[in-house]
Each structure stands twice: as structure tokens, then as C-alpha cells.
A and B are shown apart, each in its own frame.
Chain A
Amino acid sequence: MSVLTSESGAEGRDLLVVRDLRLGVGEGEGSFEPVVGAALRADRGEVVGVVGESGSGKSLMLRAIAGLLPPGVDYRGGEVTVGGIDVPHAKPADLHRLRGETVGMIFQEPMTALNPTMRIGTQIAEAARAHRDLGRGEAKARAIDLLGRMGFTEPARQYRLYPHELSGGMRQRVVIAIALAGEPALLLCDEPTTALDATVTMRVLDLIVGLVSDLDIGVVLVTHDLGVAARICDRIVVMYAGRMLEEGPADKVLRRPRHPYTLALLRAVPTRETTIEELRAIPGTPPVPQEQLPGCPFAPRCEFAEDACLREVRTVAIEDGRTTACRRHEVLAKMVEGAGV
């Protein structure tokens, strides 16, 4: 049953391994954990999608991978290993090597992710110089090369532009060029297309997919957009309330979900055929991270829930190298196979 999962786990050669990650905010009374037991792995040559609604802890987990937790958030337990670096316990020198050289990061808001007072070329060049002993000229040549690869038509001239002279899509390409400048093995993308319009989104996604094959890098893509995930991801991890609920190959997870939350997400996606009446919003609201339930965090909103769900939650391996945190996944499977999604 759990062939694939245990195998890759035993190999231990994954580029990225996140296991039982817990992140905490604050100390003492008001302290809480927005991420409890997140898990993820990624390797070169694959795109792993992390989907979930806002507040599910997916962006925070991504920040934790790069050692870029916002002030006030800290590691409370579990494992984050990237390219052999133990991120939560890394020394400053290792973190310096991790950022840019091992992982590159792309952010949600291209409008604010760039330094407004620095030429875009300089911003790319300094990222290239941060890890390699490049002269100014070499770094500039590298930046111009990257701009060209990102689809800038006159990179040598556009090198001198400032961020405010570019459109959102162009800025996001600059952010991607910055992330690639240090030749990282892993690209972390935090909702890279949320701020972009539909046609630009497609082009940026195609660009990212192209990089995976061209440069043989791994990509972790955090998104709340199942359409985006379906388009480019090889594997998908579904997160909810700071926890991993389901994981598996993208087509399998999206066609035959093995967790009621994934099913509910899929039903909430509008398609060309659905009418507004057919769209099913998920009843209830996500739990606030301050109130940790002992059982499945989705149980209070789940149509499949039974009493046991409220007491305990356990992640189990199922067929096709998939895992799910739903104890009633077999019931769900029968229903999904019978009716289709």
C-alpha cells in the first residue's frame, strides 16, 4: 500500500524534506501554533503544489523552508532539511548558503517585492554576486542573460530600468530572475500568480515549468488556486489549519480526492459549466489557530465526520503512493468512484 512513500522516505536523498513541522507565534499565554505537523518533500525535476485556503499555514511553511520566518514566529519542532542543511538549527553561514544558492524564492506581490530605488539589473546582479566570486562585469552579463531568458526583448537596455517602469508580469519575471541568479536547486513560489491577470498568469506558469526541465530544479508552488495547481504540479499537498491533510500525484488527488476537504475544495471551484447555484461553499469557517483541536481540524465542517474524528487524527498511506489524514477515506473513495466529483 505505502510503497512509494516509504521508499522515498528510506532513500533520504530528497532535496527538501519537511516533517512534522511546528511553527509557533509568541510566548506564554497568547502563544499559538499556526503550523502543526506540516509535511512536504520535493526533488529536482518536479513541481510540488501546496494548496489550501488563506491562513492554512502554507506561506509560513514556505518561509520556514528558506529560514525566512517573519519576526515573532519560531520553529517549535519537526524537521526542515534542504540540500543537507538543517534549517531550524542552521548557523548564519549556512543560512547565507541556503538562501539564494540552495533555494530561490518568488513572492506573491511583484509590486512590492522589488527595491524601488534600485535598477532591476542591479538587483539581479547583486543576487548573482552574493554567492559567486563574480566581478561587476560578469555579474552584469549574468543579469542580462537572465533577463533575456525571462523574455525581456532588449535585456541590455532594460537592465537599467527601475521597477516602477515595469508591468506586474514583467516585475514578476525580474523576481524570478533574482531567485535564479544564485543557481538554486529549489525554487519556492509563494502564490506567484495571484496578483497577475489571467493571460500573464499562464505565461509565468509556463516559464516556471520550462525552468524545471531546462535547469533541472525542483519547485514548490504554494497556491490557493486549484486550476494553477492542476496545470503545472506533479504532486499536490493539501493543507488545512497548519496541517497536511492529503498528499499524492496531482492528477490522482484532483480527480479522486481521498480527503473530504480536498473534495470540498474541488466542489467550490467554478467551471464554465457550473451555475452559481451549483457552486458549493464549504460550510462553517476554518478554526482559528489559537484553538487547537485534538482531532481532525476539518471534522467540525465535514459531512463525513464521525465522533472518532474529533478525538484523534492520523496520517495513513494509501494506494498510488498517496497519504491522507482522513480515517474515513474508504467511505469517501466509494462515494467519489460512484458519482464522480
Chain B
Amino acid sequence: MAYAGFLIRRLLQAIPVIFGVTFIVFWLIHLVPGDPARTALGLHATPAAIAKLHQEWGLDSSLPAQYLNYLGRLVTGNLGTSLRYQESAGTLILERLPVTLWLIVYSTVLVAIFAVPLALLAASRPGALRDRLVSIISVAGLGIPGFWLGLILIQYFAIEARVLPAAGFGSGFTGHLESMFLPSLTIAIGIIPMVVRSLRAEVLRTADLDFVVTARSKGLSERRIRWRHVLRNALPPSVTILMVNVGFLIGSTIVVELVFSLGGIGSLMINAINGRDFPLVQAVTLFFAFMVIFTNILGDLLQALLDPRLEAR
């Protein structure tokens, strides 16, 4: 299939980016002045402990050698050992992965569910009341800070109305669906406005194209024209916007996981930073970077699926 070739090409293109990311992540620890081992262990560490870590991390060898060593470890799947948990960072991330993945996928789905009808509604009569209402709501959604919105949602839906849980991951698929709704909605509300804005503009642009007149001249219903011809062609650019934002969203999971007491990778990151757990910070940063690269590739793949003209390139 042609998509396989497309995917392989896209993966190959990602290799330099991956190298760049590992390079930056490796250097992070050396950006802090002084001996990384001392920085990690803090002021009150014994010289013996520092010396041990110093040796463990191979800090005596040259930087290039250290980097190669680091890469070598990564290739074998070793992301390092957390100082605080005394466990493999990879295992720690994997344990918490379901929560974060749920959050990301759920909020992306919510964005799609809300953004498409809102954009179509706004574009159905540009300049009309409904269009202005949608844009006002969008601006509001864009301006509200995530942590504050999360607290408000907890207040109304969990504490006062008692329809949804205030915190936790829940158990079972429906349990997750319930528990993760508010946190996912919190993230989605920050992204919906951008997708609505782009999709609305794209729908209006597409509605003026010649092939829509062709579609109308066939005697198709307005409904079919709107969904099959206009929306279908307006989607690809907005999918890009969405996927770029999913990249950012990975970062915003940190705040939302904290507000909703979710034990995901975001909260793991916060613990790691607070505990000066450098290997874990490195590992999580690398993981987040890989997630962003992956969503970008996924976005490109979706584009190619949506627009047959891209497949040929």
C-alpha cells in the first residue's frame, strides 16, 4: 500500500529529530553548573555517596563518550534509574502511561466532538448571531487557565451536582470514561477554540470552491454537500492544527493531572523535578518528546488519508 511507503518515509525523516532530542535531553543535566552528581544529591550528601553516583553516571569520561554511552543505553531500552524510586525510569513511565494516554486520546476525541459542529454552526451563517456567539465562547475558552477551569468543573459537577467523580482514574472502561471526563474536558476546552477557528475559516473557503457548485448542480441534498464535500475537504488543515495542539496538550497534562489527582506521567514529572531526580526528568522529557514526534507523524498520516493528493508526494 502507498500509505506504508509514506509512513516509512515519514519515520526516516523523524530520525534526525530523535537524535536532536536525545542530544538536548542529555545536555540538560550538564546545563546546571557544578557536578551533576552533587546537584542531584543535594547539599547534605556525603562525599562518598557523591563519588559513587559520579562513578555510576560515568562523569569522568569525556562528554562525547558519555553521550555515546547514553545513546547505547537508550538503544537497549534502558532509560536510566530513578534516584528517588530506585527503579527503572522506563518501568515507572509504563506504569503511569495508561492514565496519560487516556487523557490525551479522550481530550482529542472531545475536541473533535465539540469543534466540528461548532465550526459548522458558525460557518453556516458568517456574521450572524450564532457565528458571533461561537467566537465569543471560543475566546473565553482560550482565555481560561486550565487549572482554574479544572477547579470550577470539580466544584460544579463533582461537589455540587455530584454527577461525576472529582478525582482519580476510576476502574474499568466505563469507570475511566466517567472519571476522566472532567480532566479531559478541561484540556479539550483549551484546544477547541483553535480548531473551531481554523475549521470555520476552512469551511467558508471550501464552500466557495467550484466543486461545491458541481455538487449542487447534481441535485444533492444540502446536508450531503455540507458533510461529504465541504467538510471533507475543509478537514485536513484543521487536523494539522489539532495534532500540533495535541503535542502541546501533552505538556498541559501535567497541570491537569495535578488538579484532578491523577497518577499519570505528568505527575511523575512533577515529583521528579521536585526530588531533583535527574535520570527520571531526563526519561520523562525524552518520553514527552517522542510522544510529540509520534503525534506529528500520526497527523501527517491522517492528512495523507484525508487528502489523496498528498499520498502521491
Contacts and interface: CB of A to CB of B under 8 A. Distances in A.
B207 to A, nearest CB: 9
Contacts of A118: 228-229, 232
A96 B214 contact: no
A64 interface: no
Contacts of B219: 95-101, 127, 130-131, 182
A114 interface: yes
A179 B213 CA distance: 12
A109 interface: yes
Interface string B197-214: 000000000000111011
Contacts, number: 78
Contacts of A227: none
A153 interface: no
Interface stretch (B50-58, B154-162, B302-310): B302-310
B213 A126 contact: no
Given A117-B232, A164-B312, A112 B211 contact: yes
Contacts of B221: 96, 130
Given A117-B233, A117-B307, A162-B308, A104 B217 contact: yes
Contact of B216 (A99, A109, A114): A99
Contact of B309 (A95, A97, A116, A175): A116
A126 B306 contact: no
A68 B217 contact: yes
Contact of A117 (B210, B217, B220, B306): B306
A178 interface: yes
Contact of A130 (B210, B218, B232, B308): B218
Interface in B214-265: 214-221, 224, 228-229, 232-233
B218 A99 contact: yes
A105 interface: yes
A182 B233 contact: no
A66 B217 contact: yes
B71 to A, nearest CB: 42
Interface string A229-268: 0000000000000000000000000000000000000000
Nearest to A115: B211
A321 to B, nearest CB: 31
Interface of A: 66, 68, 95-101, 103-105, 107, 109, 112-118, 126-127, 130-131, 162, 164, 175, 178-179, 181-182
Given A100-B220, A130-B221, 5 more contacts: A105-B217, A114-B211, A127-B220, A178-B218, A179-B217
15 contacts: A66-B217, A68-B213, A100-B217, A114-B211, A115-B229, A116-B233, A117-B232, A117-B233, A118-B232, A127-B218, A130-B218, A162-B308, A164-B308, A164-B309, A182-B219
